[in-house]
Amino acid sequence: MTTTKRDFRDNLIAPSAKIIDTLRIIDGHGVPVGLVHEDGRLVGTVTDGDIRRGLLAGIPLDAPVAKVMNVAPKMVLQGTPDAVVLKMMQAYSILYVPVVDARDHVVDLKILKDMLPDVDGRGPDLATDGDDAASATSMDNIVVIMAGGKGERLRPLTADRPKPMVEVGGRPILETIVERFVRQGFTQLYISVNYRREMIEDYFGDGAKWGAHIRYIREDSALGTAGALSLLPERPTQAIIVMNGDLVTRVNFRHLIDFHNQHGTAATMAVWEARFAVPYGVVTTEDTRLTVIEEKPVKSFLVNAGIYVLAPEMLDLIPRGRAINITNLFSMQLSRAKDGAAAPVVFPLREYWIDVGRVEDVERAHHDLRTMIKEV
């Protein structure tokens, strides 16, 4: 059992701290949990998932972290044997637990990863880049990247290549996606291919160059955004990540998996807040009476971001070799939820994200990569 010592004080946060500032703390110190305290006394904890749930509830990033914190976190008393702490963490499926004294003052932070036996002789390793969650620790979850689209809206850029091979920032979009997964510990990758598939297969091969194990799902005909999942050679034993191959994003996939597991759901959809400015004055009426007028209001909607987590049993809903879209799977699960199954959940993105579906999106993403994102 490893007992690496970390300074819990890096994770201390005042209840009045803004959520946006809290994100910088929990993303920047390798241990993504904030210990909310008043004069050293623990009053709550906050994780990435707590903040995302707050965003869904309409709580802005400039609100105090007290608005989203867990006010009744699990904690252990100073002096509790590590074996007891470990058993509790495993029983409740928690990754971090604060240690407090008799007056509830924080004295330490126990981290599940540090307490588990070393399985490879390298000792523990936690993320050092909060945005990237880069870690030598491998994740067992399979990733399926959908890269079979023709990208007709991107012509002429896709006249001689599949859409995921269009270059943004000096390299194919798909290469950026692969590298990001690998740097976060996801190395078991499947790429679903169809249109000009030989270009993708020749470029990536078996994935060894990127430190990945890449296999291919070959669609003889277009199978929609989920049909290719029926062609996986074996049924996964853990939740899988499915992602469209035309996205540029800084999403933390480890946070996504944690969010999915914590909610005990079979299907999670990443969503993005899209904002639209109405170029007119919008009026509200009661019969013929004018009641409200808004001049060029901005409306926001949560939209499907093209990134999903599916439990293995969700694959049983997909007819083999038939075209089906992944949104149909979510609709099926919504129907099953009426009979007691777990309802799908949404994971609100707070990281950079763009769907590169049009020529102007390529130009925007290229600009963003050079000016906003130092390393994707």
Q: How far apart are CA 150 and CA 187, in angstroms?
A: 26
- Using the predicted structure, report yes or no on whether residue 190 has a pLDDT greater than 80: yes
User: 111 - beta bridge partners?
Assistant: 96
Q: Average per-residue pLDDT in the chain?
A: 83
Q: How far apart are CA 174 and CA 243, in angstroms?
A: 11
- Using the predicted structure, report yes or no on whether residue 376 has a pLDDT greater than 90: no
Return the DSSP state at 347.
E
Q: Is 37 in contact with 13 (CB distance < 8 Å)?
A: yes
Q: How far apart are CA 162 and CA 194, in angstroms?
A: 9
**b/e code 3-13 from CB counts within 10 Å (16+ = b):** eeebebeebbb
The predicted pLDDT at position 131 comes to 45
The pTM of this model reads 0.71
Model confidence pLDDT, tens digit, residues 239-249: 999 999 989 88
> Torsion-angle region of residue 290: left (phi > 0), alpha (psi -120 to 50) or beta?
beta
- Using the predicted structure, report yes or no on whether residue 121 has a pLDDT greater than 60: no
> Which fold would CATH assign to domain 8-115?
CBS-domain (3.10.580)
Model confidence pLDDT, tens digit, residues 31-55: 788 899 988 889 888 888 888 888 8
Q: What is the 3-state secondary structure (H, E, C) of 184-230?
A: CCECEEEEEECCCHHHHHHHHCCCHHHCCEEEEEECCCCCCCCHHHH
Parallel/antiparallel/unpaired status of strands 96-100 and 76-77: parallel
Model confidence pLDDT, tens digit, residues 285-338: 988 889 999 988 888 888 999 999 999 999 999 988 788 899 999 999 998 888
Q: Is 195 in contact with 186 (CB distance < 8 Å)?
A: no
Break the chain into its structural domains and give their ranges.
8-115, 143-371
Determine the CATH number of domain 143-371. Answer: 3.90.550.10
Q: How far apart are CA 1 and CA 123, in angstroms?
A: 9
The predicted pLDDT at position 371 comes to 62
81 versus 368: the higher-pLDDT residue is 81
Q: Is 270 in contact with 349 (CB distance < 8 Å)?
A: yes
The predicted pLDDT at position 372 comes to 53
Model confidence pLDDT, tens digit, residues 228-241: 899 999 899 999 99
